[in-house]
Amino acid sequence: MIAPENRVREGERFRGVVINFLPRKGYGFILLDNDVKVFVHYSDIIGKRFRTLTPGEEVESSLTLSTKGPQAVDVVRLDPPPDDEPLPPIDSGRTW
């Protein structure tokens, strides 16, 4: 069996399904298409309101390898509710 760390390429985009997410604790797990289970923290979910995920929901994310294993970052919900679409990018060229 191949260790999960060897099936994950850091920075590559993956699709997966939310296994569980605990809103009170702010974390959960995603099962990727390549059968790797990865940790997800609420701060890595892209959205403009309360950032949470629902079990069974499809997502796309990049991955990073933390000291505890693979972790999802830049998580995008593939079918977000209409009022939770991502915010537009911030224009860093503004002058005040």
Domain that holds residue 29: 4-80
Q: What global pTM score does this model have?
A: 0.72
Would 58 be classed as within a structural domain? yes
DSSP character at residue 78: S
Would 90 be classed as within a structural domain? no
Model pLDDT for residues 53-79, shown as the tens digit of each residue? 999 999 999 999 888 888 999 999 988
Model pLDDT for residues 74-95, shown as the tens digit of each residue? 999 988 666 555 555 555 565 5
Contact predicate 19/28, CB 8 Å: yes
* Domain harbouring 71, CATH code: 2.40.50.140
Would 36 be classed as within a structural domain? yes
Q: Tell me which residue of 84, 16, 15, 14 sits closest to 55, measured CA to CA.
A: 16
3-state SS, residue 89: coil
Contact predicate 48/87, CB 8 Å: yes
Query: What's the number of domains the chain is made of?
Result: 1
